[in-house]
Structure 1
Amino acid sequence: MTKHFTGWRKSRHSDPNGGCVEAGRAADGTIGVRDSKGDLSIMLEFAPKDWATFLNSLRETRA
Structure 2
Amino acid sequence: MDDIAGPYRKSSYSGPESNCVEVAATAGGGRAVRDSKDQAGPSLRFSAEAWGAFLAVARDGEFDR
Verify same fold: TM over 0.5: yes
> Cα distance, 1:51 vs. partner?
0.2
Give percent identity, aligned residues only.
34
Number of equivalent positions: 61
Q: Which runs of 5+ in 2 are unaligned?
A: none
Q: Given the two structures, how large is their TM-score scaled by the length of structure 2?
A: 0.73
Q: CA RMSD in A?
A: 1.8
Q: Which runs of 5+ in 1 are unaligned?
A: none
Q: Given the two structures, how large is their TM-score scaled by the length of structure 1?
A: 0.74
> Cα distance, 1:39 vs. partner?
5.3
Residue number in structure 1 paired with 2:44: 44
Moved over 4 A (4+): none
